[in-house]
């Protein structure tokens, strides 16, 4: 699941016109990495929510900006797994 989520995240960043050539799991989403500003973070979060059915609280945006691509991917994959197990 993490591989699929990571590929989706990178694809969405490319679609949002960010340079994804040097992105790896240690690249932060915020200013010292991909450099997503708050609106771009919100856009990425909405795209992930729409694709995977997970939700992010309004107060998570600062936390998301500090995360690496790997941490964000793991968090989304964990939330998808939790949602899937809750439906069982």
Average model confidence (pLDDT) across the chain: 93
Choose between 85 and 27: higher pLDDT.
27
Mean pLDDT, to the nearest integer, of 19-31?
94
30-55 residue pLDDT tens: 988 999 998 999 999 999 999 999 99
Give the angle 27-62-86 at the CA atoms, nearest 5°.
90
Amino acid 75: pLDDT:
96
């Amino acid at each position: 699941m993490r591989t699929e989520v990571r590929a989706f995240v990178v694809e969405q960043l490319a679609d949002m016109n960010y340079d994804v050539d040097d992105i790896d799991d240690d690249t932060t989403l915020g200013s010292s990495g991909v450099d997503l500003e708050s609106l771009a973070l919100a856009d990425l979060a909405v795209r992930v929510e729409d694709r995977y059915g997970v939700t992010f609280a309004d107060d998570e945006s600062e936390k998301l900006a500090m995360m690496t691509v790997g941490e964000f991917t793991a968090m989304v994959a964990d939330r998808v797994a939790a949602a899937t197990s809750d439906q069982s």
